[in-house]
């Protein structure tokens, strides 16, 4: 994530130095999220033989911003592949089993990464939130869970 931001900054500076006009869209996870609070491992992606491929980490503070990342493990660590993490605020305040996402609230980070996707954050207040993670390694693996 930091490498992507540094590369974007470098390319923008280079383009400006050459007199080019640059329009830069912010990264979905570029809201400078830092993770603190109690760490919970929500899901460990495993192969059929039990090898850990990655884990969804959720940090829950006593109040304020929740934070999530998808961290690669084992044979996936250091290997570039498509992964993604989303942390979205729901309109619901109790777990009804569904999540109506509040538009433009929360974080999304999808891409080809070697070590992790995220961190992404959301301030939930009294609302529920949904964590969704995708890991593509010899097939599709998806995690989706609602928390209140």
More confident residue, 4 or 34: 34
Encoding tokens for residue 35? 């993770």
In a domain, 141, yes or no: yes
In a domain, 17, yes or no: no
The C-alpha R_g of the chain, in whole angstroms, comes to 17
Q: pTM higher than 0.75, yes or no?
A: no
Average pLDDT over residues 114-137: 90
In a domain, 52, yes or no: yes
In a domain, 16, yes or no: no
**Domains in the chain, number:** 1
More confident residue, 79 or 3: 79
Find the domain containing 70 and state its range: 29-147
In a domain, 20, yes or no: no
**Domain containing 71 — which CATH number?**
2.60.40
pLDDT at 33: 66
In a domain, 100, yes or no: yes
In a domain, 6, yes or no: no
In a domain, 128, yes or no: yes
pLDDT at 32: 58
Query: What pLDDT band is residue 11 in, cutting at 50, 70 and 90?
Result: very low
Encoding tokens for residue 117? 């996707």
The DSSP annotation for 100-148 comes to -EEEEEEEEEEEEESSEEEEEEEE-TTS-EEEEEEEESSSEEEEEEEE-
């Amino acid at each position: 994530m930091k490498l992507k931001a540094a590369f974007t900054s470098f390319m923008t500076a280079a383009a400006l130095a050459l007199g080019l006009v640059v329009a830069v869209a912010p990264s979905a996870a570029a809201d400078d999220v830092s993770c603190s609070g109690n760490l919970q491992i929500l899901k460990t992606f495993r192969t059929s033989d039990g090898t850990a491929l990655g884990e969804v980490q959720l940090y829950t503070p006593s109040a304020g911003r929740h934070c999530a990342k998808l961290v690669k493990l084992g044979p996936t660590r250091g290997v570039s592949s498509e992964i993604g993490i989303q942390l979205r605020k729901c309109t619901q305040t109790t777990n009804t089993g569904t999540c109506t996402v509040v538009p433009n609230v929360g974080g999304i980070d999808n891409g080809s990464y070697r070590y992790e996707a995220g961190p992404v954050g959301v301030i939930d207040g009294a609302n529920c939130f949904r964590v969704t993670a995708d890991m593509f390694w010899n097939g599709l693996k998806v995690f989706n869970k609602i928390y209140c």
